[in-house]
C-alpha cells in the first residue's frame, strides 16, 4: 500500500475541518516518519480525521500507567478517539501560553461547605520601642526591621545610609555566598533619596519606609533581568512589575537586589552555581528561596521575599537560621511572579524575627484584580495582644516519632509550654495518601513549563538528575488526566479533615518536617512560620514551625513572636559577616 502523503493528509484534514495550513504543516512535520502505511482507498472516516499514529500495541503498553486491563476489541475501538486527540493536542500546543496565563480552574483553600468566619480585625500596629543607633555598621546590618524602622523614623539613620550599607555588603559577601543574581543600585539609590525627602518633610509611610530588601528572582521588575534561576531564562527581561514589588514600593521599602533561587524554584543550584549557607559555606543554602535565606541570615538585606510551593520557604529558613512566613494561599497576590503550580504557589517574607515577618506581611496582603486567587481578609497584627484568646496545640505524632532533630524539637515544645496557654494534642488525617497527591504539583509544574520540555531547552538547566525538573516535567506528561482530577478530589477530603483540626486549635507547633505536615499544609493552603530553634554541634541551625488556621497569620505570628522572646535563637548570626 502507498504511504500517506502530505498532500493527501492536508486534503483530508481540511475537508474534516481540522486546523489551518500552518497548523497542518506543523502537524505533518511532527508526524512524518511515524505514520503507518495506509492506502487512500482504505481510509475510514475516523482515519481521515486523524493520521493513525497510536496503535493497539501502544495502548496495551500504556494501560499499565492508566491502571487498566482492556480487551483487543476495546483497544481497537479506542484507536480512532486517541488519534483524533493527538490532533487536538497539537492544536492546543500551537497556542502561545506565557507562564503567567492561568488555567480556567481556580483553587480556594476554604473547604467546600465551610463558611469561614473571620472576625473584623483591629487596625494593625507595629511596636515602637526605644532604639539607639549601634556603634558599628555590622551591628546595624543585623538589626531587625522593627528596630531599623525606629532608627529611620527617629532620623538616627537615613534611608541612604542603610541602602549604601546593604549594597556594600551585597557586593562584598554576595559573590562568596552566590546569593545575588542582580544588584539594583540605580533604582535603590533613587528610592532612598525619595524616602529621605519624604521623611524629612514629615510624610513617614510606616515601618518599611527606607528599609532595603531583596527579591527572590522570580519577581518581575522592569529594567532588570528576571531569570527564574534558569540558564534558559537568564536574559529574560519582563515589562511587568510584580504586585509584591509594587506594594513594597508603595510602603517606601527599597529594593537593593534580586536574589538567587534554584532553577525554576527547585533546590539551591542556579545557572551561576550553588547558593551557600553562611553558617557553613561548604553547604548549600537549600531551596528554592536560597538567596533570600542566605542574604537575610548574613545581614545583606533588611528582609527578603521568598516563595513556597512545597517547602521553598520552610527549608531555606531552616538551613539559614532565619524566620520565614508562608502565608495562607491567596493572602498575597502572585501577579508578576513565576508560576510553578497555580494551586500551590505562595509568596511570603523571610526575616530575622516573627515580628518582622508580621510587619512585612501587612504591607503585601490583599486582593488584586490581576490575580483571581488573591483575596481581602482581616489581619489585625498587634504584638502587644495577650495570648489568652489563642488556642494552641502540638502535633503529637510528629514529636513522638524518632527523628534526627528530636532533642531540639522537644526543647522547642518545652519552651512553648512556658507561654502560659495549654497545649492541646492534635493529629493530621491518617487515612489519606498524602504523598500520592504530589502528582498535583508534578502535573501543574509540567504544564507551566511545557514549552521548555517540548523545545528541548530543558537541556539548558544545570541539574539533570532523576529528581531534577527536566525529568520531572517529562515524567509528568504521562500522568493521566483522570488521576490528576482524582488527586484533587482526595485533596478536597484533606481540606475538610484539616478544617476539623482547626475546629479545636488556632495554631499548632510541629517539627518543621514532621510526618507529612509540610505536604499536607501546602496542599490545603494553611499558613506556617519557621524559626531557628537551636544549633547543631557543627554550628548549623535547626528549626521549629507553627501552623495556623486559614487567614490566621496574626495569631500565628503572635505565638511565634512570644516563643522567640522566650528562646532568643533568632538573635544569633553567622560568624564572618559581623
Domain with CATH 3.90.1300.10 in the chain: 137-433+472-571
Q: Is 154 a catalytic residue?
A: no
Cis peptide before 163 (omega within 30 of 0): no
Out of 230, 286, 312, 445, the active site residue is 312
If you average pLDDT over every residue of the chain, what do you get? 90
- pLDDT single digits (tens) 140-163: 999 999 999 999 999 999 999 999
**Residue 170 φ/ψ, nearest 5 degrees:** -60, -40
- pLDDT single digits (tens) 387-414: 999 999 999 999 999 999 999 999 999 9
Q: How far apart are CA 573 and CA 352, in angstroms?
A: 10
| Three-state helix/strand/coil letters over 413-462 | HHHHCCCCCCEEEECCCCCCCCHHHHHHHHHHHHHHCHHHHHCCHHHHCC
Q: Give the mean model confidence (pLDDT) for residues 29-54.
A: 46
Shortest CA distance to 547 belongs to which of 347, 351, 391, 379?
A: 391
Domain 137-433+472-571 has CATH 3.90.1300.10: yes
Q: Is 21 a catalytic residue?
A: no
Q: Give the mean model confidence (pLDDT) for residues 113-117.
A: 79
Residue 7 has pLDDT above 70, yes or no: no
The grid cell for 139 is 551591628
Residue 11 has pLDDT above 60, yes or no: no
Strand partners, 225: 237
Question: What pLDDT score was predicted for residue 70?
Answer: 87
- pLDDT single digits (tens) 562-572: 999 999 999 99
Distant-in-sequence, close-in-space partners of 211: CB < 8 Å, separation ≥ 6 = 145, 148, 149, 152, 159, 162, 252, 253, 254, 302, 303
Question: What pLDDT score was predicted for residue 23?
Answer: 46
Sort strands 303-308 and 212-216 into parallel, antiparallel or unpaired: parallel
Residue 270 has pLDDT above 50, yes or no: yes
Residue 44 has pLDDT above 60, yes or no: no
Out of 144, 230, 285, 288, the active site residue is 288
Q: How far apart are CA 77 and CA 367, in angstroms?
A: 49
Q: How far apart are CA 59 and CA 174, in angstroms?
A: 53
Place 29 in a pLDDT band, splitting at 50, 70 and 90: low
pTM of the model: 0.88
Residue 37 has pLDDT above 50, yes or no: no
Q: Is 312 a catalytic residue?
A: yes
Q: Give the mean model confidence (pLDDT) for residues 278-307.
A: 98
Share of residues in the chain with pLDDT > 90 (%):
78
- pLDDT single digits (tens) 305-361: 999 999 999 999 999 999 999 999 999 999 999 999 999 999 999 999 999 999 999
Residue 8 has pLDDT above 80, yes or no: no
Amino acid at each position: 500500500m502507498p504511504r500517506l502523503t502530505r498532500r493527501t493528509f492536508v486534503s483530508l484534514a481540511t475537508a474534516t475541518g481540522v486546523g489551518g495550513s500552518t497548523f497542518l504543516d506543523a502537524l505533518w512535520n511532527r508526524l512524518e516518519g511515524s505514520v503507518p502505511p495506509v492506502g487512500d482507498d482504505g481510509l475510514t472516516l475516523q482515519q481521515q480525521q486523524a493520521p493513525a499514529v497510536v496503535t493497539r500495541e501502544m495502548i496495551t503498553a500504556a494501560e499499565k500507567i492508566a491502571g487498566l486491563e482492556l480487551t483487543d476489541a476495546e483497544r481497537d475501538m479506542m484507536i480512532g478517539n486517541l488519534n483524533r486527540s493527538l490532533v487536538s493536542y497539537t492544536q492546543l500546543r500551537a497556542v502561545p501560553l506565557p507562564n503567567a496565563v492561568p488555567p480556567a480552574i481556580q483553587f480556594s483553600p476554604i473547604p467546600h461547605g465551610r463558611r469561614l468566619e473571620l472576625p473584623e480585625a483591629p487596625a494593625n500596629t507595629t511596636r515602637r520601642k526605644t532604639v539607639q543607633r549601634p556603634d558599628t555598621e555590622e551591628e546595624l546590618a543585623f538589626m531587625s526591621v522593627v528596630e531599623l524602622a525606629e532608627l529611620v523614623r527617629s532620623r538616627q539613620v537615613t534611608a541612604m545610609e542603610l541602602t549604601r550599607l546593604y549594597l556594600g555588603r551585597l557586593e562584598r559577601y554576595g559573590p562568596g555566598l552566590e546569593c545575588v543574581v542582580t544588584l539594583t543600585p540605580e533604582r535603590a539609590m533613587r528610592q532612598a533619596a525619595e524616602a529621605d525627602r519624604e521623611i524629612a518633610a514629615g510624610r513617614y509611610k510606616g515601618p518599611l519606609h527606607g528599609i532595603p530588601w531583596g527579591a527572590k528572582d522570580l519577581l518581575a521588575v522592569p529594567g532588570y533581568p528576571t531569570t527564574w534561576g534558569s540558564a534558559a531564562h537568564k536574559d529574560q527581561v519582563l515589562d511587568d512589575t510584580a504586585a509584591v514589588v509594587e506594594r513594597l514600593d508603595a510602603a517606601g521599602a527599597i529594593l537593593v537586589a534580586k536574589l538567587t533561587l534554584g532553577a525554576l524554584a527547585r533546590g539551591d543550584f542556579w545557572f551561576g552555581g550553588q547558593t551557600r549557607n553562611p553558617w557553613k559555606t561548604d553547604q548549600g543554602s537549600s531551596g528554592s528561596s536560597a538567596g533570600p535565606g542566605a542574604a537575610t541570615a548574613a545581614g545583606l538585606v533588611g528582609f527578603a521575599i521568598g516563595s513556597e510551593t512545597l517547602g521553598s520557604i520552610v527549608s531555606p529558613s531552616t538551613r539559614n537560621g532565619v524566620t520565614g512566613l508562608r502565608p495562607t494561599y491567596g493572602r498575597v497576590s502572585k501577579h508578576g511572579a513565576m508560576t510553578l503550580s497555580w494551586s500551590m504557589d505562595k509568596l511570603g517574607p523571610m526575616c530575622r524575627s516573627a515580628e518582622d515577618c508580621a510587619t512585612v506581611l501587612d504591607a503585601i496582603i490583599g486582593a488584586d484584580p490581576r490575580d483571581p486567587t488573591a483575596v481581602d481578609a482581616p489581619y489585625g497584627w498587634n504584638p502587644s495582644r495577650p495570648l489568652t484568646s489563642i488556642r494552641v496545640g502540638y502535633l503529637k505524632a510528629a514529636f513522638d516519632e524518632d527523628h534526627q532533630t528530636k532533642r531540639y524539637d522537644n526543647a522547642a515544645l518545652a519552651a512553648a509550654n512556658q507561654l502560659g496557654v495549654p497545649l492541646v494534642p492534635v493529629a493530621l488525617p491518617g487515612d489519606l495518601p498524602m504523598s500520592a497527591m504530589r502528582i498535583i504539583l508534578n502535573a501543574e509544574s509540567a504544564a507551566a513549563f511545557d514549552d521548555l520540555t517540548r523545545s528541548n531547552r530543558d537541556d539548558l538547566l544545570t541539574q539533570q538528575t532523576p529528581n531534577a525538573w527536566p525529568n520531572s516535567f517529562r515524567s509528568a506528561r504521562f500522568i493521566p488526566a483522570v488521576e490528576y482530577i482524582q488527586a484533587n478530589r482526595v485533596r478536597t477530603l484533606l481540606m475538610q479533615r484539616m478544617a476539623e483540626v482547626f475546629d479545636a486549635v488556632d495554631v499548632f507547633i510541629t517539627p518543621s518536617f514532621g510526618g507529612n505536615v509540610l505536604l499536607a499544609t501546602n496542599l490545603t493552603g494553611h499558613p506556617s512560620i519557621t524559626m531557628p530553634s537551636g544549633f547543631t554541634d557543627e554550628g548549623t541551625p535547626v528549626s521549629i514551625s507553627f501552623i495556623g488556621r486559614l487567614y490566621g497569620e496574626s495569631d500565628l505570628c503572635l505565638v511565634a513572636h512570644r516563643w522567640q522572646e522566650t528562646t532568643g535563637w533568632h538573635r544569633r548570626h553567622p560568624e564572618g559577616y559581623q
